[in-house]
Amino acid sequence: MDSQHEDMNQTFGFSASPSCNVVYFSKNNHTYHKPDLKVRVGIKETEDPIPLCYCFGWDRARVQREIIETGKSTAIESITKEVKAGNCFCEKSNPQGTCCLGNMSKTIQQINLNS
């Protein structure tokens, strides 16, 4: 359980397993699956668009395109600047309920290794 969300007096855990169709689960056996959500859950997606940053619109394809065109990604720098300016709302917009920078760093490393 990576994070928790409150919904109608229930605490939900987040399933971080990429291969699991369950996104949220509770102690009362209530679950939300990928199709139940209005947004794509980046960690659980294998085809574009794969969202990485829900606050500022970064997805895997955009990061990859930037790396191919310029040799690097400015995503982390750009997001960090916005976070410092108080423009971040990850806890509400990211299905994981956490900041996207960890997932962003991993994705950039993976793209760089595969380039």
Token couple for 46: 């294998």
Domain boundaries, given as residue ranges, for the chain: 4-114
Q: What is the mean pLDDT of each run of 10 residues along the chain (115 residues)?
A: 54 94 94 96 95 97 97 97 95 94 96 89
- CATH 1.10.10.1100 corresponds to the domain 4-114: yes
Residue partners of 99: CB distance under 8 A and separation at least 6: 83, 88, 90
* Per-residue confidence (pLDDT) for residue 2, from 0 to 100: 45
**Residues 75, 53: contact at Cβ < 8 Å?**
yes
* Per-residue confidence (pLDDT) for residue 1, from 0 to 100: 41
The H or E element that residue 28 is part of is none
Q: What is the mean pLDDT of the chain?
A: 92
